Amino acid sequence: MVSKSKNIPSFLKAYGLSGTTFRKQVIELFNGEGTALTQKELEDKLPDETDRVTLYRTLKLFTEKGILHKIVIDDNIQKYKLAGSFKRKDHAHFYCLNCHKLFCMPQLEIDPTQLPPGFEYYSARLVVEGVCNKCEKKL
């Protein structure tokens, strides 16, 4: 998470990127615990004149640079989340079915030594679905 808006230009510079107004707007939308957004949710929160192609390219660039994680929830939902201090792309995520927040769960690791002999591990995607602790208290 980027702590304050004024830190966003230096945050982007650390990744070798210029701090354009649009890039700063996109990063600002991801601040907050559990904040993961679809491209459509981002489009809805950005100014009306936002170009979809520019947003697509920005998300792709941020994902390639390791700023964002792209998490595939199912065939229809892909969310993006700030990578934060945990940079590995192949860690588990918890998706709350009630509030739709996404939480990184680096404590759940894939053990590549458990693969059958001759299998080679490249990456993994794991999404645990359920109800987060805040939503559970409301039920």
pLDDT at 26 over 90: yes
Per-residue pLDDT reduced to its tens digit, 43-75: 999 998 889 999 999 999 999 998 998 888 888
> Where does 5-138 sit in CATH, by number?
1.10.10.10
Of residues 126 and 32, which shows the higher confidence score? 126
**Banded pLDDT at 34 (limits 50, 70, 90):** low
Residues 72, 73, 75, 81, CA torsion sign:
negative
Domain-wise residue ranges, the chain: 5-138
The pTM for the full model equals 0.74
Q: Average the pLDDT over 22-33 and give the result.
A: 87
Using CA atoms, how far apart are residues 37 and 42, in angstroms rounded to an integer? 6
Residues 92, 98, 101, 103, CA torsion sign:
negative
Per-residue pLDDT reduced to its tens digit, 75-118: 888 999 888 655 566 678 888 999 888 888 878 877 888 899 99
- Residue 33: predicted pLDDT: 61
